[in-house]
Structure 1
Amino acid sequence: MTRPSLSALTRSFWRIGWLSFGGPAGQIAQMQRELVDGRGWIEQAAFLRALNFCMLLPGPEAQQLATWCGWRLHGVRGGLIAGGLFVLPGAAVMALLTWAYLSFGTLPWVAALFYGVQAVVLAVVAQALLRIAQRALHGVQGWALAVTAFVALFFFDAPFPLVVLAAALIGGWRGRGNLHDPTPLPPASWRASLATALGWGAVWAAPILMSALVFGPAHPLTQIGSFFARMAAVTFGGAYAALSYVAQHAVEGQGWLTPAQMLDGLGLAETTPGPLVLVFQFVGGIAGAGFGIAGGLWLGMGMVLWVTFAPSFLWIFTLAPHLDRLTARPALAAALAAITAAVVGVMANLAVWFALHVLFAEVDALRVGPLRLWVPSGGFDWVAGALALAALLLLTRTRLGMGAVLGLGALAGVLINYAG
C-alpha cells in the first residue's frame, strides 16, 4: 500500500467532503471508492476493521471512519485534516442554506438541484454495497449474519446497538477456541491515550463552559450546547437513531422550532454533502436566531457543530492506536469479523431506505404487531430510476469521475424539474 503525501491526502478529503452525499451508506461508499479501490492507500481488511470499530462508537460513524483513515495515513495531523474536511464543506453549505431559509423562506431550487444528485448517490451506494458484500461476506455464517441484521433493522426496527452487540457475541463465541496470532505487535500506551482523552474532553466542553461564563448556565445557548453534547456521547447507530430523540426534545420539549421547520431541515440535510447529522446544525441555527443576541444564528450553528463532531476526534485519537493489537486477539478478531457481516446488513438497510425515498414520492411506515413495513405510495418515479441506472452505467462502464457524474445528475435534475 502506498502512503500519500499530506497535500495529496488533503486534496483527496477535500474532494470526498464535497461529494459525500447520501448519508452514511453513500459516504462510506465514497471513501471505499476513493481510498481503497481508487488509490489503494488503505487495505480493504483494515478499512473494514475500522468501519466495524466506528460502528461501535457513539456519534457519526462516517466522520469517525474518515478521521481514522487520515490518522492511519498521517497520524493526528492527517486525522484532523480528514475528519475536518469531511464535515466542513457540508457545514458551510448548510450554514448558507439555513441563513437563506430564515431570510427568504423555503428553497424549492434546492430540491430541483439535488433531484438528480440523489439518483446518482443511489447508484454509488448500490455499487459500493455489492463490492463490500463480495469482500466481507465469507461462507454461510457471514451471509446469515448480514441477512439477519438487515431483517432485524428493516422489518422489526431493532435497536442498532443490540444488532451489533448480538453479532459481536456470536462471532466472539465462535472464535474463542482459535489460536493467537504469533506476530508480535508493539503495545500502545494507555497512559498516553488517557491524556489524549482528557485533552479532547476539554476541547469538547470548552464552548459550553465559555457560554456558561458569558451568558450564564441557564441561557439557551448553554442549554443547547449541553443537550447536543450529551446526545453525542450516548447516541449509537448514527443520525437515524438520534433524529426522533432530537425532534422530540427540540420541537415538543423546548419549542426551539416547529415540526414543519424540523422537516425542512431534514430535507436540506438529505440533499447536501456531509453527515446527515448536519440537520442538528440547522436546529441550532433556528434556535439561535431566537436567542436575542447578536449573531445568534451563527453562534447556535457553531455550538452544535462543535459539540457534535469534536467527540469523533476524541474517540479515534484515544482508541485507534490500540485497534490493531486488540483485533489480534482471536475472540475479538472473530467478533469484529461477525460485525463486518452485520454491517453489510446495516448498509443494505440504509441503502433500501434511501432507495425507497428516492424512487417513490411518499413512503409510509405501517405497523403490524412487531413488524414494520415501509409502504411506498404516490407511484414509482421512473425518471429517478432511469437517472440512477444511467449513473450506474457511467460509473461502471466509463472513466468519468464521481464529480462529473454528480454534476451531470444535478444538471439533469434542474432541467427535468424546470422543464416540467
Structure 2
Amino acid sequence: MPEYTKEDLEPESLLNDQDQETQLSAKPQLWELAVVFAKLGAIAFGGPAAHIAQIELEVVQRHRWLSREKLLDLLGITNLIPGPNSTELVIHVGLEQGGWLGAIVAGASFIIPAMLLVWGLAIVYVEYQTIPTVGWLLYGVKPVIIAIIAQALWKLGRSALKNATTWSAGIFVLVLYFLNVNEIVLMLGAGVAVTLVRNLSFLKNPKSLSSILFPFSFFPLPLSAVTTETTLKPWTAVFFSFVKIGSVLYGSGYVLLAFVQQEFVDRNWLTSQQLLDAVAIGQFTPGPVLTTATFIGYILAGNLGAIAATIGIFLPAFILVPVINPFVSKLRKSPWTAGFLDGVNAASIGLMAAVAWELGRGTLIDIWTVLVAIASLAILLKFPKVNSAWLIIVGGAIGWLLKFKTV
C-alpha cells in the first residue's frame, strides 16, 4: 500500500489550522469540566447534531482540550454503541480529561440542567394538565442552532473528509439516508467500504486477511429478562424500564418515543396525549432529548420516578463509555481499523449534514429566520471562539421582539 503523508491528504490551510490545535491546553480541573458542560446542558437546543456542534466549539476551539481528529474518533465510536450520542460524547471527553470521576462530572453536569427544567415543567403539567407555550423563543433560537451546526460541519468535515474515498463515503451516506436506509447500516457500510478501498493491496495477500479484526462488537447484554411488572414499586419499575430502553436505543434520541410507546402507552401506564406532551417538552427544552424520561418518570411515579427514569435512561452510557474508550487510541494503529474509523467518521458527517438539512427546512421559514441564521454563521466563522450562549440569548431576544411585531 502506498504511503501518504499528511501534506498529500490535506490542504496547507487546513494543516495550519490543525497545527494550532495540536498545541492542546493542560487538562482541566473537575470544576472546569462541570462549568463548561453545565453551560452546554443549559443552552444546547436543537437535538444531538446541535449538541455535537456546540461540544466541538467548546472542547476543540475554545478550550483546546482535544484535537478535532480525536473528537471525530470519539464521535465515530459513540455512533456504534447504544445510547444518546451527544451525552456519550460528553462522557468520553470527561473520561479523557479527568478519568472516571471526570466522566461522571462531565456527564452529570450536561444532564442535570435539562433534567431540572423538565422536572419543573412536569410538576406544572401534573398540576395544571397543560404545558407553557414558548414558540416565540424557539423562533429566534432555532436559526442560531442551524448556524452552529453549519459551522461544525465545516470544521469537522475538513478533518473527516480527507480524500476522495472519505468524500465519496460521506456523500453516499447522505444520499442513502434520504432513501431511508438504517443509520447503523450506513455507518458500518461506510467503515467497511473505506477500509477495503484503502487496504486493497492487502487483500491480494491471504496472510493479511487474518488481520481484519474489527473491535467494534460492543453490544449491550440482553435485558429482556429484566422485569418491569407492576408488582414492583412504581419508581423501581420505571427505573428498570428505562435501563432496558437506554441499553438498546440506537440512532437519534427521538427513537426513544417508539420505545416509550411500546413500554408504557401500550401497557396503559401512559396515555397517548401524555406521550405527545412529553414530545413537546423535549422539543423546547435544552440539553439531551432523553431527559424526556424525567417528564415521563414524574407522571408515572412522582419525584422518585423522575429521578429513577433519568438515572435509568443514562446509566448504560456511563457504563459503556469507560469500557470502550481505551480501545479508541488503539484503532489508529492498524491500517484496517484506522480505515474503518475514517469511514465511520465520514458517515457521521454525512448523517449530520442530513439532519441539518431536515432541521433547516423546518426552521428557515421566512426572511427573518434566514437573516438570523446567516448573521449567526458569519459571526461564528469570523470569530470561531465566540461563546455560543450569547448568540442563543440574542436569537431568543430577536424572537421575542418579532413576536410583538407580528401581533
- TM-score bracket, shorter-length normalisation: 0.7 to 0.9
Percent sequence identity is: 27
One-letter code aligned to 2:363: V
1:52-71 to structure 2, matched below 5 A, reads: 52-71=76-95
Give me the whole-angstrom Cα distance separating, in 2, the residues matched to 1:268 and 1:13: 21
CA shift at 1:135, angstroms? 1.8
Q: What SS is found at the alignment partner of 2:258?
A: helix
Give me the whole-angstrom Cα distance separating, in 1, the residues matched to 2:366 and 2:257: 26
Aligned to 1:268, which of 281, 284, 288? 281
CA shift at 1:248, angstroms? 4.3
Give me the whole-angstrom Cα distance separating, in 2, the residues matched to 1:238 and 1:312: 14
1:17-416 to structure 2, matched below 5 A, reads: 17-153=41-177, 155-176=178-199, 216-217=231-232, 219-251=233-265, 253-286=266-299, 288=300, 296-359=301-364, 380-397=365-382, 400-416=386-402
Q: What SS is found at the alignment partner of 1:158?
A: coil
RMSD across aligned C-alpha pairs, in angstroms?
Answer: 2.7
Give me the whole-angstrom Cα distance separating, in 2, the residues matched to 1:178 and 1:311: 40
TM-score for both structures, normalised by structure 1: 0.79
Go from structure 1 to structure 2 and tell me whether the alpha carbon gap of 1:243 and 1:141 turns closer, same or farther (over 3 Å shift): farther
One-letter code aligned to 1:99: I
Deviates more, 1:142-151 or 1:276-285: 276-285
Query: For the Cα contact (< 8 Å) 2:376–2:391, is it kept in 1?
Result: yes
CA shift at 1:257, angstroms? 3.1
Give me the whole-angstrom Cα distance separating, in 2, the residues matched to 1:249 and 1:156: 29
In structure 2, the gaps of 5 or more residues are: 1-23, 203-217
One-letter code aligned to 1:351: A
Go from structure 1 to structure 2 and tell me whether the alpha carbon gap of 1:256 and 1:29 turns closer, same or farther (over 3 Å shift): same
Go from structure 1 to structure 2 and tell me whether the alpha carbon gap of 1:249 and 1:418 turns closer, same or farther (over 3 Å shift): farther
One-letter code aligned to 1:407: I
Query: For the Cα contact (< 8 Å) 1:3–1:73, is it kept in 2?
Result: no
Residue by residue over 1:161-187, the C-alpha shift from the partner in whole angstroms, topping out at 9 and shown as x without a partner, is 1111111221332344689xxxxxxxx
One-letter code aligned to 2:183: F
Give me the whole-angstrom Cα distance separating, in 2, the residues matched to 1:177 and 1:347: 28
More strand by proportion, 1 or 2? 1
In structure 1, the gaps of 5 or more residues are: 180-196, 289-295, 360-379
Give me the whole-angstrom Cα distance separating, in 2, the residues matched to 1:36 and 1:383: 31
Go from structure 1 to structure 2 and tell me whether the alpha carbon gap of 1:133 and 1:418 turns closer, same or farther (over 3 Å shift): same
Q: What SS is found at the alignment partner of 2:343?
A: helix
Q: What SS is found at the alignment partner of 1:46?
A: helix
CA shift at 1:9, angstroms? 2.5
Aligned residues: 364
Correspondence 1:5 to 2:9: no
CA shift at 1:17, angstroms? 1.9
CA shift at 1:265, angstroms? 1.8
Give me the whole-angstrom Cα distance separating, in 1, the residues matched to 2:76 and 2:386: 31
Residue by residue over 1:46-93, the C-alpha shift from the partner in whole angstroms, topping out at 9 and shown as x without a partner, is 111111011111000111110111111111111111111111111111
One-letter code aligned to 2:245: M
CA shift at 1:325, angstroms? 1.7
Write out the 4+ residue segments of structure 1 that deviate beyond 6 Å after TM superposition: none
CA shift at 1:245, angstroms? 3.4
CA shift at 1:121, angstroms? 0.9
Query: For the Cα contact (< 8 Å) 1:235–1:242, is it kept in 2?
Result: yes
Query: For the Cα contact (< 8 Å) 1:70–1:83, is it kept in 2?
Result: yes
Query: For the Cα contact (< 8 Å) 2:44–2:286, is it kept in 1?
Result: yes
Query: For the Cα contact (< 8 Å) 2:83–2:249, is it kept in 1?
Result: yes
Go from structure 1 to structure 2 and tell me whether the alpha carbon gap of 1:350 and 1:327 turns closer, same or farther (over 3 Å shift): same
Query: For the Cα contact (< 8 Å) 1:178–1:331, is it kept in 2?
Result: no
Give me the whole-angstrom Cα distance separating, in 2, the residues matched to 1:172 and 1:395: 34
Residue by residue over 1:184-239, the C-alpha shift from the partner in whole angstroms, topping out at 9 and shown as x without a partner, is xxxxxxxxxxxxx9xxx9xx9xxx99x99xx843x544433333222211121131
Q: What SS is found at the alignment partner of 2:134?
A: helix
Give me the whole-angstrom Cα distance separating, in 2, the residues matched to 1:138 and 1:326: 18
Give me the whole-angstrom Cα distance separating, in 2, the residues matched to 1:63 and 1:178: 39
CA shift at 1:5, angstroms? 3.0
Give me the whole-angstrom Cα distance separating, in 2, the residues matched to 1:54 and 1:168: 14
1:191 aligned partner: none
Give me the whole-angstrom Cα distance separating, in 2, the residues matched to 1:390 and 1:223: 48
Query: For the Cα contact (< 8 Å) 1:143–1:341, is it kept in 2?
Result: yes
CA shift at 1:129, angstroms? 1.1
Give me the whole-angstrom Cα distance separating, in 1, the residues matched to 2:147 and 2:81: 28
CA shift at 1:284, angstroms? 2.2
Go from structure 1 to structure 2 and tell me whether the alpha carbon gap of 1:270 and 1:178 turns closer, same or farther (over 3 Å shift): farther
Give me the whole-angstrom Cα distance separating, in 2, the residues matched to 1:13 and 1:122: 20
Residue by residue over 1:237-288, the C-alpha shift from the partner in whole angstroms, topping out at 9 and shown as x without a partner, is 131333333234433x1233333332222222122111112223222222x1
CA shift at 1:400, angstroms? 4.9
Query: For the Cα contact (< 8 Å) 1:123–1:388, is it kept in 2?
Result: yes
Q: What SS is found at the alignment partner of 2:66?
A: coil
Give me the whole-angstrom Cα distance separating, in 2, the residues matched to 1:14 and 1:45: 24
